[in-house]
Chains A and B, each alone.
Chain A
Amino acid sequence: QKEVEQNSGPLSVPEGAIASLNCTYSDRGSQSFFWYRQYSGKSPELIMSIYSNGDKEDGRFTAQLNKASQYVSLLIRDSQPSDSATYLCAVRDRTGGSNYKLTFGKGTLLTVNP
């Protein structure tokens, strides 16, 4: 059973701070990793994808991947109240090819306080 683990939170940070969200996964052969943001009552929205070890930056968001440690993280710089949401980590099934199944973590609830 492939597992994706996240701290459920809630994680509370002040406005302007850096929010750090963490995720570990069990399948060492996983190749593709994704972060989704889900506002309450809404559908998940893709915000970052990362495929190689290291950092990937997109605006205020940075995804970090360490395959040796089976660890992926999301940093949100200059956090805003509008960033308050549940953040879901997702890992693509090892089989790849035409099989694109993702396993999701249960999500971390982030609250940014004004």
Chain B
Amino acid sequence: IAGITQAPTSQILAAGRRMTLRCTQDMRHNAMYWYRQDLGLGLRLIHYSNTAGTTGKGEVPDGYSVSRANTDDFPLTLASAVPSQTSVYFCASGSITGELFFGEGSRLTVL
């Protein structure tokens, strides 16, 4: 059982390019999340989805968009990447008791 699968694991991207980080879960959780983690700032919520077909903004949503067409997939798109979006991105799914389970992360560098 894979749990949460993220792709790519690492990417170097030129500023201004569009990038989609993929996230797939096989845990059948309704809720899914995207966090970014930066040194000294901790984990910050970008966007979330409580169930397929719905999404919401987190603490730092600007420059990012998400979609939730089905239960399993929750892609995160950077429409026009900027250097400040250099970070480690974690996708997570949430159980009904509120516990979150994380993917292995995607390390993104924007030059």
Output the residue of B58, B102, B103 with the most chain A CB within 10 A: B102
Q: Could you tell me if A49 and B30 are in contact, using CB atoms closer than 8 angstroms?
A: no
Q: Which residue of B lies closest to A6 (CB)?
A: B42
Q: Could you tell me if B42 and A104 are in contact, using CB atoms closer than 8 angstroms?
A: yes
The reply on B12 being an interface residue by CB < 8 A is no
Q: Which residue of B lies closest to A43 (CB)?
A: B102
Binary interface encoding of chain A residues 63-86 relative to chain B, with 1 for a CB under 8 A from any of its CBs, else 0? 000000000000000000000000
Q: How far is the CA of A107 from the CA of B48 in the complex (A)?
A: 22
The reply on A90 being an interface residue by CB < 8 A is yes
Q: Could you tell me if A99 and B40 are in contact, using CB atoms closer than 8 angstroms?
A: no
The reply on A102 being an interface residue by CB < 8 A is yes
Q: Could you tell me if B98 and A46 are in contact, using CB atoms closer than 8 angstroms?
A: no
In the complex, which residues of chain B have a beta carbon less than 8 angstroms from the beta carbon of A34?
A: 98-100
**Count class of interface residues, chain B:** 20 to 34
Q: Could you tell me if A45 and B102 are in contact, using CB atoms closer than 8 angstroms?
A: yes
In the complex, which residues of chain A have a beta carbon less than 8 angstroms from the beta carbon of B102?
A: 43-45
The reply on A19 being an interface residue by CB < 8 A is no
The reply on A56 being an interface residue by CB < 8 A is no
Q: How far is the CA of A106 from the CA of B43 in the complex (A)?
A: 7
Give the total number of A-B pairs whose CB atoms are below 8 A apart: 56
The number of chain A residues with a CB under 8 A from chain B is 22
Q: How far is the CA of A108 from the CA of B24 in the complex (A)?
A: 29
User: Which residues in window 1-59 of A have CB below 8 A to B?
Assistant: 32, 34, 42-46, 49
Q: Which residue of A lies closest to B48 (CB)?
A: A101
Q: Which residue of B lies closest to A90 (CB)?
A: B100
User: Which residues in window 23-37 of B have CB below 8 A to A?
Assistant: 30-31, 33, 35
Q: Could you tell me if A100 and B31 are in contact, using CB atoms closer than 8 angstroms?
A: yes
Among candidates B45, B90, B99, residue contacting A101 with C-beta atoms closer than 8 Å: B45
Chain B positions within 8 Å of A, measured between CB atoms, are: 30-31, 33, 35, 40-43, 45, 48, 50-51, 58, 90, 94, 97-105
The 5 tightest CB contacts between A and B, nearest first, are A106-B42, A104-B43, A43-B102, A100-B94, A32-B98
